[in-house]
Amino acid sequence: MSLKDQQGAQTVLSPGSTIGILGGGQLGRMLALAGARLGLKTHIYTPEASCPAALAATELTVGEFDDVDRVLDFAKSCDAVTYEFENVPALSAKAATSGAPLRPNADALNVSQDRLVEKTFLKEKLGLEVAGFAAVNSLDDLRGAVKELGLPCVLKTRRFGYDGKGQVIIKSEGDIEGAWDRLSPAECILEAFVSFEREVSIVAARGVDGQIAAYPLTENVHKNHILYQSTAPASQDDGSAAKMAGQILETLDYVGVMGVEFFQMATGDLIVNEIAPRVHNSGHWTQDAGCTDQFEQHMRAVAGWPLGQAIPQHGVVMTNLIGDEAKAWKTLAQEAGVFIHLYGKSECRTGRKMGHVNRIVKS
Ligand SMILES: Nc1ncnc2c1ncn2[C@@H]1O[C@H](COP(=O)(O)OP(=O)(O)O)[C@@H](O)[C@H]1O
Ligand SMILES: [Mg+2]
């Protein structure tokens, strides 16, 4: 099905080919649905058989992410492999690469799964502005880092944090020991607290031929550290965020969709918060904006196809349905101009992303 060169670098997959996806959450589900529209088969690798992606995919392998042999067998059954979360273990990423082209590549995983490596890469390699940071491996380190960076500040685990999990705000010296007790013995990073004006993000894609397509700037509001609402296109976009995202994509020789989160200061200056080497929650609005949505865009890139149009026809406000909020589906279904996306999760827990709605903004 595929026209492979020796490294698989320029592999172009025809319809009917199989794209493997490591991870079976809602992002995997929406990637599989988009793939189906393009005539591509999807094979999900997940530790949980009854995952959100299960119903949407062509095939399912149930296995642990650190089961290197299983991942290799899975990759061999696919024409290309991608992932829907950044915590794929390095050895498994290597195994996947031996079985099929891995897109985005393993470098993107290495950089984004460790906040210390990520911030160092953004600052030292690319010269981008990030929050002040210091590595913290002990209570003594933490005391020293708080002196250096000042109060307030945020202690975060270097790895495995998401939706605000694995982070504690330190407001006064009296909070230091409690914060360390909560996150130790994990390796941590301390970040200066950024008094931002607003949070924005760029979702952008890069194809196998180096073509880049960035969606417009999106403004994001978080509640309890979880994304609540995204509005696109955001006001006052001077194009600098998309330029930085392009720089990151090129430096990593990246193929696929990436999300880049920024803090924007009152001066307009942008500080990069973090990068996600995958489709991103702040890009869900693209599904109902009259352009190629981020899921199709990612599948196109992974399949080696030309990228689609990333210019929306109208504005969209995306609102996440967290926990019980998804129970309002019937009321939402009665609202005109609302597009409902539910993830099919059987268990509804507080703080769990159950779905989202896109509301068209009338211009
Ligand atoms: N250094 C910081 N200064 C101010 N707010 C922060 C800082 N770090 C995180 N936050 C807030 O917490 C949210 C989640 O943190 P983030 O680092 O993006 O982790 P994740 O999204 O992986 O949970 C951010 O979007 C922001 O609202
Ligand atoms: Mg984040």
pLDDT tens-digit series, residues 162-188: 888 899 999 999 999 999 999 999 999
Give the mean model confidence (pLDDT) for residues 154-169: 93
Question: 355 CA to middle of ligand 1, Å?
Answer: 21
Q: What percent of the chain has pLDDT over 70?
A: 97
Question: 99 CA to middle of ligand 2, Å?
Answer: 31
- The C-alpha angle with vertex 181 and arms to 175 and 185, in degrees rounded to 5, equals 135
Find the ligand nearest to 164 CA. 1
Q: Ligand 1: which atom is nearest the Cα of residue 227?
A: 25
Q: Ligand 1: which atom is nearest the Cα of residue 165?
A: 23
Give the mean model confidence (pLDDT) for residues 115-132: 98
Q: DSSP E strands: which ranges in the chain?
A: 2-3, 12-13, 18-22, 41-46, 59-62, 80-83, 133-136, 153-157, 167-170, 188-192, 198-206, 212-214, 218-223, 226-232, 256-264, 270-276, 315-322, 338-342, 353-361
Question: Which residues have a Cβ under 8 Å from the Cβ of 313 and sit 6 or more positions away?
Answer: 289, 290, 291
Cα–Cα dist 271/341, whole Å = 31
Q: Ligand 1: which atom is nearest the Cα of residue 164?
A: 23
DSSP codes joined into one string, 341-356:
EE---SS--TT-EEEE
Q: According to the model, what pLDDT value does residue 163 have?
A: 83
pLDDT tens readout for residues 215-268: 999 999 999 889 999 999 999 999 999 999 999 999 999 999 999 999 999 999
pLDDT tens readout for residues 311-351: 999 999 999 999 999 999 999 999 999 999 999 998 999 99
CB 297 within 8 Å of CB 213? yes
2, pLDDT greater than 90: no
Question: 274 CA to middle of ligand 2, Å?
Answer: 6
3, pLDDT greater than 60: no
Cα–Cα dist 187/141, whole Å = 11
Q: According to the model, what pLDDT value does residue 326 have?
A: 96
Q: According to the model, what pLDDT value does residue 164 have?
A: 83
Q: According to the model, what pLDDT value does residue 80 have?
A: 98
Among 113, 133, 167, 320, name the best residue to mutate to test ligand 1's pocket (greatest count of ligand atoms within 8 A of Cβ): 167
Q: Ligand 1: which atom is nearest the Cα of residue 154?
A: 1
Pocket of ligand 1 (CB under 6 A): 131, 154, 161-164, 191, 193-194, 199, 222, 225, 261, 273-274
pLDDT tens readout for residues 56-71: 999 999 999 999 999 9
Give the mean model confidence (pLDDT) for residues 256-282: 98
Q: According to the model, what pLDDT value does residue 363 have?
A: 67
Q: According to the model, what pLDDT value does residue 5 have?
A: 42
What is the pTM assigned to this prediction? 0.96
Return mean pLDDT, the chain: 95
Question: What stretch of H or E contains 245?
Answer: helix 240-251
